[in-house]
Amino acid sequence: MTTNESIDITELRTHLYHSACKLNNLSLYQASKWCAEALNGLKDKQQPVTYPPLALDSDDLLDQDILILAKSYFDCKEFDRAAHVLKDCKGGDAKFLRLYSMLISIDKRSTEETDGSLNIGMINETNEDTGTTSKESALNSLNSQLSKIILESENYLKHKQNAFLLYLNGIIYNKKKKYQLARQSLHDSLQIFPYNWSCWQELIASFSSFEEAHNYINKCKNTNNPLANNVMFQFFEVVILQEFYHQSNTLFDNLSNLAALFPGFVFLKIQQFLISYHNLDYFQAEATFDQILIEDPLRLDDLDTFSNMLYVMEKRSKLSYLAQYASQIDKFRPETCCILANYYSMKCEHEKAIMYYKRALTLNKNCLSAWTLMGHEFVELKNSHAAIESYRRAVDTNPKDFRAWYGLGQAYEVLDMHLYALYYYQRATNLQPLDKRMWQAIGNCYEKIDQLEEAFKSFAKALSIGKVMHGDSAFDNKDFDECDFSVEPHICYRLATISEKLGNHKDTYKYMRLCFAQEFEWGVGDETSKARLWLARDALNNWKFEEAYELAKDLNYSNAHDIEEARAIARDARNRMKNQMH
């Protein structure tokens, strides 16, 4: 790992400056913005820096005039025109801008022809002559056009390497879901030009599991690849660990090193916010983002994720203010639309929320959370089929979003399709193994299909996670006779009822007692009252009349039938105690 002592700050500053300029010249604005923010977030300058001019090869020098014209067309959104004027250019930069313009034009036309692909349950007509559906025809046409771009790029790369053409190939291979090829192209691009953050993002998108990403990282480090010693690799590693919910020492060490090197870089503070958010530490996450807004009050990036958290925290007034604030900055940004959607969802205006999520997707079809959140709205409207379609689009866009997999599981569970639900819950659990909600959902499904032993194991896992989250990693759910810790009563009660169905009286008693013990921490609830009644009934059956009486006499929180049964147990226990005295 690169240490801060081994980094030449002046050299790093020069690399970031040149990279920001180069990326801006090639119309890669998001990557250029990232480099410029990193440059301005570096440690304070010790002295003024004079940056040497960008080096250009002979072909790029010949293309300079036409590149300025093409870039002007590109900036005016005339993508076909930009591609056309560059058709005879020989340089790598011109070739990239030509093919990149073609890619954006194809993508734009595809979106317009399919109305943004936002119609849930869109009619898929079949062509009688070819036997293909309209969706298949559109995909075939898109693949054909993308293949032409790849071919032209590869023809250039046979004679000369170019980082940006390799990056372009990686984008297209990702679109085609050819992730191995994408990974190789993106890796080769980063070997030549490591400061293209958009390329790193495409590389991250090519990993469908943490194992794949972890293997790639280890391979780079173990082969002494120069890329692994670049500061950009630390950024990459931080985002990988954050996105896959792996909170290891490596994550915090890298984050600490980078924060010392880039004290003013908001991107790193966003990573800290996301780590707290994924860890369900909402108050810390909120404090972090509040500080970000103080430093950069007009920033809309990631504000939609902040609004998601405020929604979960039920902070209505703050979410309302945030929606108004974002609308004043730019009401047509996808992030603003998502914030407004969350605001209307909190007001239970689900149709309006869906409208704003659709607007966000029209503005940016890769808006990662909009499909998932729109699925939640359809669930609220009891439209399971539309919810399933939304969640499917979400996992197609971002298979690392555990909420979309979890949403699919919930939608199929509502339809009583428990095997389907189980599969999707398991996919969610693979991404978020330390979320007890996932294990409870799996346990519910196993119980519904009468696999009680598997259901018991799932709820036991949820219980152990719940205990670990309270800070006692030495917890052993086989031995908790003292009942001196806090866990959710609901999980304990489910474990007890499943044990009872399995005919295991010892475990039933153990978990009922644990559930009842939570009354002091969680207050009197439905589960603790039912556990109290069961324990009273069990004590009476085992001739423990005093214990049965003490448990039954105070049961006041339950349905009328249970309260009446508790009174009957108390009377019976009292009478038997009197008889014993005589």
Burial 182-218 (b: 16+ CB within 10 A, else e): bbbbbbbbbeebbbbbbbbbbbbbbbeebebbbebbe
Q: Which of 37-46, 234-243, 572-581 has the lowest mean pLDDT?
A: 572-581
**3-class secondary-structure state, position 95:** helix
Residue range 120-131, pLDDT digits in tens:
544 455 555 555
Task: Give, in order, the Cα–Cα distances in Å from 239 to each of 197, 213, 236, 533.
Answer: 11, 11, 5, 50
For CA atoms 313, 315, 320, 322, give the dihedral sign.
negative
User: Rounded mean pLDDT of the chain?
Assistant: 86
Cα–Cα dist 214/221, whole Å: 11
Is the Cβ–Cβ distance between 2 and 230 less than 8 Å?
yes
pLDDT at residue 238, as a whole number: 95
H-helix or E-strand spanning residue 140? helix 134-157
pLDDT at 87 exceeding the cut of 80? yes
Alpha helix stretches (DSSP H) within 63-119: 64-75, 79-85, 92-113
pLDDT at 116 exceeding the cut of 60? no
pLDDT at 14 exceeding the cut of 60? yes
pLDDT at residue 481, as a whole number: 45
Cα–Cα dist 582/33, whole Å: 89
| Residue spans per domain, the chain | 486-581
Q: Which tokens hold the place of 487?
A: 């866990």
Cα–Cα dist 265/34, whole Å: 9
126 strand-pairing partners? 133
pTM of the model: 0.85
pLDDT at 51 exceeding the cut of 90? no
pLDDT at 27 exceeding the cut of 90? yes
Residue range 524-553, pLDDT digits in tens:
778 888 888 888 888 777 777 777 777 777
**3-class secondary-structure state, position 480:** coil
Cα–Cα dist 403/397, whole Å: 13
39, HSE (Cβ side, Cα atoms, 13 Å): 19
pLDDT at residue 125, as a whole number: 52
Q: Which of 109-118, 130-139, 348-357, 567-576 has the lowest mean pLDDT?
A: 130-139
Cα–Cα dist 472/485, whole Å: 9
pLDDT at residue 580, as a whole number: 67
121 strand-pairing partners? none
Name, in order, each residue with C-beta under 8 angstroms of 113's C-beta and a sequence gap of 6 or more.
138
Residue range 444-494, pLDDT digits in tens:
999 999 999 999 999 999 998 876 545 444 344 444 444 445 688 889 989
Architecture per CATH, 486-581:
Alpha Horseshoe (1.25)
Confidence at 21, pLDDT banded by 50, 70, 90: very high
pLDDT at 169 exceeding the cut of 60? yes
Name, in order, each residue with C-beta under 8 angstroms of 167's C-beta and a sequence gap of 6 or more.
185, 186, 189, 193, 196, 198, 199, 202
Confidence at 1, pLDDT banded by 50, 70, 90: low
**3-class secondary-structure state, position 263:** coil
| H, E, C per residue of 5-16 | HHCCHHHHHHHH
Q: Among 385, 403, 404, which Cα is nearest to 394's?
A: 404
Percent of the chain with pLDDT over 90: 57
pLDDT at residue 127, as a whole number: 52
pLDDT at 501 exceeding the cut of 80? yes
